[in-house]
Amino acid sequence: MPVCPKTMVVKIGSSTLVDSDGQIRSEFIADLARQAARLRELGWNLVVVSSGAIASGAPLLGFHTRPTDMPSLQACASVGQCVLSAAWDEGFQSSGLISSLVLITRHDTARRASYLHARDALTRLVELGVVPVVNENDTVSVDEIRFGDNDTLAALVSCLVSADLCVILSDIDGLYTANPSLVPDAEFIPVVTRIDASIVEGAGDSSGAVGTGGMITKVQAARILMTAGIPSVICSGAEPHVLERLATGEAIGTRFEPPRARFDIAPRKLWIALGDGAHGSLTIDEGAKAALEQRGSSLLPVGIQKISGSFSAGDILDVRDQTGRIIARGIAGASSEVLELAAGRRREEIAANRLIAELAEHPAIHRDDLIVF
């Protein structure tokens, strides 16, 4: 078995994998399997993150449009996952490759131990020459169906397997300064080295009837990957031989180039960024923002301006600046009730208040429990 020193993760959206009638594009899967075999010859392993379970299961259950109630969505996912798994297995077998099905939920990765078990399993599959096909377990994962698609999952998997490249295939050829379907003179962006407010605003919303996500979820995933030191590409799934061409260094779509070297971010902090959904958020002032971004400091209660959500100590929180932009994520050092009382107060004031005095001895989020994007 050839040794493949590099690993590519490819995420395939529902609109690329399933047509408008809910039929799986078998020719697309067969072509991707052929590319996977060619990638092996070029020294690359492949991991697939596959959407499409709900979209392919809906017509089999008599739904002409995507249902909106949760039990029906879960039923569609359950049926569709069987169809998808069979299609992937047949496609890869025809190219002499072994595939496997890996279903992941937020619950699986929210716990540190489970996160590490998922990492070990995926890494071993890749080492054995298997092409893992990963999907969110939509049948039981309520949050995924309601709030997002598999773009964040692709970023998670890329970090789990220490990927050298993450490719997000979509029905659009990359990122523009605005939604090109609404703004005809929007300019294409070939390379992104920093995701600022203008990039986020330009992402807009390009979600379709088949999928659940838009360009904004792809940009958010790319941002996490840049923090992890992993380059990513957003490009059209209709591009011929796209994975092979990317593996050989050809410029296709929009490439997000990380500013720092790989492994600069500890695995624990990647888990904080990706392993669990945020249970609330803290809005901070400019002084606290500078301390986090420029000095690598902990987040102190004095810099907190607003607390959103109800959470406990140990829960994952988003940290937002005054514009609402998420600049970091971390583990809460105290509950929302305690932080509400402590927000904006200096250490001396907190120590003098017996209800929150214990918070005077530690920050709202310790820097070891904080990842800054």
- 3-state SS track over 227-276: HHCCCEEEEECCCCCHHHHHHCCCCCCEEECCCCCCCCCCHHHHHHHHCC
Are the C-beta atoms of residues 249 and 183 closer than 8 Å to each other?
Answer: no
Are the C-beta atoms of residues 10 and 31 closer than 8 Å to each other?
Answer: no
Asked whether residue 339 falls in the same domain as residue 194, the answer is no
The Cα 30–Cα 97 span in angstroms is: 12
Please, what is the end-to-end C-alpha distance for the chain in angstroms?
Answer: 38
The Cα 85–Cα 61 span in angstroms is: 17
The Cα 146–Cα 148 span in angstroms is: 6
Helix axes 267-274, 215-228, angle to 10 degrees: 170
- Residue 304 domain-assigned (yes or no): yes
Asked whether residue 121 falls in the same domain as residue 231, the answer is yes
The last residue of a domain, from among 226, 242, 267: 267
SS3 307: strand
The Cα 23–Cα 17 span in angstroms is: 9
| CATH number of domain containing 102 | 3.40.1160.10
The last residue of a domain, from among 243, 267, 291: 267
What is the tally of structural domains in the chain?
2
- Residue 273 domain-assigned (yes or no): no
Task: Pick out the residues of the known binding site for substrate.
Answer: 51, 138, 150
- Residue 114 domain-assigned (yes or no): yes
Asked whether residue 317 falls in the same domain as residue 286, the answer is yes
| CATH number of domain containing 339 | 2.30.130.10
Task: Pick out the residues of the known binding site for ATP.
Answer: 11, 170-171, 212-218
Per 3-state DSSP, what percentage of the chain is helix, strand, and coil (rounded to 5)? Answer: 40, 20, 40
Please, which residues have CB within 8 angstroms of residue 266's CB and are 6 or more apart in sequence?
none
Amino acid 224: pLDDT = 85
Asked whether residue 142 falls in the same domain as residue 200, the answer is yes
Asked whether residue 257 falls in the same domain as residue 283, the answer is no
Task: Pick out the residues of the known binding site.
Answer: 11, 51, 138, 150, 170-171, 212-218
- The model's pTM: 0.80
Asked whether residue 258 falls in the same domain as residue 283, the answer is no
Asked whether residue 283 falls in the same domain as residue 140, the answer is no
Asked whether residue 57 falls in the same domain as residue 194, the answer is yes
User: What is the 8-class DSSP label of residue 24?
Assistant: B
The Cα 249–Cα 234 span in angstroms is: 14
- Residue 1 domain-assigned (yes or no): no
- Residue 76 domain-assigned (yes or no): yes
Range of the structural domain that residue 293 is part of: 278-372
The last residue of a domain, from among 230, 248, 267: 267
Amino acid at 29: I
Amino acid 221: pLDDT = 87
The Cα 221–Cα 270 span in angstroms is: 12
Task: Report, as ranges of residue numbers, the positions in the chain whose pLDDT lies below 50.
Answer: 1-2, 144-148, 206-213, 263
Residue 2 vs residues 45, 94, 126: alpha-carbon distances, Å: 10, 19, 12
